[in-house]
Amino acid sequence: MNIREERPSDREAIETLTCQAFTNHPHHEPGAKPTEHLIINRLRESGALTLSIVAEEGGEIIGQITFSPVTINGRASDWFGLGPVSVRPEHQGKGIGGQLIRDGLARLKAQRAEGVVLLGEPEYYGRFGFKANPAISYPGVPAEYFLVLPLHEDSAMPVAEVGYHKAFG
């Protein structure tokens, strides 16, 4: 398996993959159509797609992860949001998502990003060092599902409210 940054020619495959990965997702209303692919498209179109990494096997994209900037107390920051992360359904449970997460975090850390936030399952994302922290929040979601990972020992944990790009609308 090859992990690399997305190319312009990957866009359609990423859209298809993301739709497949989120069809019948347990956090969606029953029968709801996925919209995560639209988030990625809007981030890309607005120039806010900081990092998009794909997992490729045999010339086929089987996984993808997105990172985009977040605001801290309404201001631009060196913090980023992780998500969505997608793995083709027949390849789920094989560690591909984890590899994409670790690779993306390493790339952001090398770029001196301060940290990463996400909305997700604490049991899964905890294995990568993400934790809920009462100092940093995202309005309207249960605090235990809004997770934070400072990327450097000297990264200051802001006391803050986080905002995602309008693409998440």
User: 32-88, pLDDT tens digit by residue?
Assistant: 788 899 999 999 999 999 999 999 999 999 999 999 999 999 999 999 999 999 999
Q: DSSP labels for 94-130?
A: SSHHHHHHHHHHHHHHHTT--EEEEES-HHHHGGGT-
Residue 140 structural domain: 2-168
Provide the CATH number for the domain around residue 129.
Answer: 3.40.630.30
Please state, rounded to an integer, the average pLDDT across all residues of the chain. Answer: 93
Question: Residues 80, 81, 82, CA angle at the centre, nearest 5°?
Answer: 120
Report the predicted TM-score, pTM, of the whole model to 2 decimal places.
0.93
Residue 149: pLDDT over 90: yes
How many structural domains are present in the chain? 1
pLDDT reported for residue 157: 82
pLDDT at 26 over 70: no
Choice among 30-34, 86-90, 143-147, 155-159 with the minimum mean pLDDT:
30-34
